[in-house]
Amino acid sequence: MDQIYIPKNRTGFPIGNYVIVTPVMSSLNSKKIEKLYFYGLKSLEPIKLTVIKEIFNIIDKKMENYGNIIVTGSFLEKGFGFNDIDILIISEEKANIEIVKEYIVNQIGIKPHIILIDNKSLIEGLSTDPLYLSMLSRCISKKRLIYNVKTKINYKLLDLQLLKSKIVIDNFDILSGNEKYYYLQNIIAIKLFLESKKVSKDSINKIIENLFKMSKDKIKQNLIDKKEFIEKYKQIYNKTFKHIMEHIGHESK
């Protein structure tokens, strides 16, 4: 049985008082477990939650001032894929993100994709860019998200966004399944945005399954019939491109 000796001459501890004895280092190292805010998902594997909390702790140490931290990307999907972890740091001040990245890699072993963005730019992105809407439709945030944005269609911006997805038509054979899925969901997000429909991970995947008669997992695994896939992909791409070009033409008149 361990014995703990308390000095006879002590301030604030009269004889007969009850005290609680705790290890000094344990008290110093204990951290308050903060509540995380889930959007578009109900739960996550415990190991991934541990990773996210550790990332938040690292950013706390390396950045003095920021508004919020948001984790998104396929990292939040079920399973043990740890490659694609996107982190948005909302801050009004500039910061050396490379230092934060390096520290996360050294401490956790995961290479993150970090975007440093101010609040005004984030709101603008949510108003005009369907990928921002898709990204934040499924995320975990350190602080509560409160964004009431009004959609503004910028056809020239959407044209640039859509052009990225043309790579699948020109370079189908050299792209991975994950890359094909990324460019496909980009087109569907733009399509939904133009139709004034809700842009979310769930709505995008539902349309992909309906149009291509296959799950996103099959596409990511590259289990695709090239001829059928490219034919359907071109139809959606060309229709969306035509829609955008018609409106750009009207705007220029």
**CATH number where 102 lies:** 3.30.460
Q: What is the per-residue pLDDT for 26?
A: 38
Higher-scoring residue by pLDDT: 13, 167: 167
Residues 91 and 46 in one domain: yes
Contact yes or no for 177/220 (Cβ under 8 A): yes
Higher-scoring residue by pLDDT: 113, 26: 113
**Is 205 contained in some domain?**
yes
pTM of the model: 0.79
Residue-wise pLDDT for 152-196, tens only, equals: 999 999 999 999 999 999 999 999 999 999 999 999 999 999 999
Residues 186 and 116 in one domain: no
**Is 133 contained in some domain?**
yes
Across 193-206, average pLDDT: 93
**Is 74 contained in some domain?**
yes
Residues 103 and 167 in one domain: no
Residues 106 and 172 in one domain: no
Q: What is the per-residue pLDDT for 111?
A: 87
> For residue 108, what are the domain limits?
32-141
**Is 150 contained in some domain?**
no
**Is 15 contained in some domain?**
no
Number of domains in the chain: 2
- Looking at 82, 113, 141, the residue that finishes a domain is 141
Residues in the chain: 253
Residues 130 and 79 in one domain: yes
**Is 7 contained in some domain?**
no
Residue 137 pLDDT greater than 50, yes or no? yes
**Is 9 contained in some domain?**
no
